[in-house]
Amino acid sequence: MATPKRDTYTPETLLSVAVRVFNERGYDGTSMEHLSKAAGISKSSIYHHVAGKEELLRRAVSRALDGLFAILDEAGAQQGRAVERVEYVTRRTVEVLTAELPYVTLLLRVRGNTTTERWALERRREFDQRVAELLKAAVADGDLRADVDIRLATRLLFGMVNSLVEWYRPHTGPGGEADRAQLADTVVHLAFDGLRTAS
């Protein structure tokens, strides 16, 4: 007798399947039936793990949000001049984004139709706001140009960073780590050598 597939499932593996399906079909376009087929387990097995697809969405976007917010508590984001802190946060955001690509992709595609989606949008705005405050402090220090609107600069900065989910494909195997570090370097160079006051 074959061991039922579902025995190998954990909330973690179910989550990674759900995120893949959400990203492929869109959250609205995904039914429990789709998730059941993709995971190769019955709907009742899924309900054994979670209350429904919205719980899977909440867990998935939480993983992305926790990764992003954790950056703000790191030493590099807490100590030093504001300009160094904002560069650090930008670099680490690129790293978290590439490390947690499917989760952040899902987070960035959230639209706001459900309570969970509205909560996720609110948390994203909160993160952007924290970065905007750092940018503002760096302008006050005279390290970033005062002639750029902070709100606009924050949007363009995240526009550039977040675009990664559309075209970045993880480089697995040797060199992958160096690849991600080079990407983070390039983003920081592009963004800040532009924002920094001429020396």
Beta strands per DSSP E along the chain: none
Q: Apex CA 41: angle with CA 37 and CA 42, to 5°?
A: 90
Nearer to a copy of itself, 49 or 91 (CB): 91
Nearer to a copy of itself, 44 or 199 (CB): 199
Find, among 58, 57, 20, 18, the residue nearest to 41 by Cα: 18
d(CA 23, CA 31): 13
d(CA 95, CA 99): 6
Nearer to a copy of itself, 61 or 191 (CB): 191
Find, among 149, 167, 146, the residue nearest to 157 by Cα: 149
Q: Work out how close the CB of 27 gets to a copy of itself at its nearest, in angstroms, rounded to a whole number.
A: 12
Please give the span between the terminal C-alpha atoms of the chain, in angstroms, as a whole number: 73
Q: Work out how close the CB of 198 gets to a copy of itself at its nearest, in angstroms, rounded to a whole number.
A: 8
Which residues, 6 or more positions from 25, have their beta carbon under 8 angstroms from its beta carbon?
A: 34
Nearer to a copy of itself, 178 or 190 (CB): 190
Q: Work out how close the CB of 63 gets to a copy of itself at its nearest, in angstroms, rounded to a whole number.
A: 22
Nearer to a copy of itself, 73 or 166 (CB): 166
Q: Work out how close the CB of 193 gets to a copy of itself at its nearest, in angstroms, rounded to a whole number.
A: 4
Q: Work out how close the CB of 124 gets to a copy of itself at its nearest, in angstroms, rounded to a whole number.
A: 12
Catalog residues that contact a copy of itself under the rule CB under 8 A.
26, 29, 145, 148-149, 152-153, 155-164, 166-167, 182-183, 186-187, 189-195, 198-199
The total number of residues written for the chain in this structure: 199
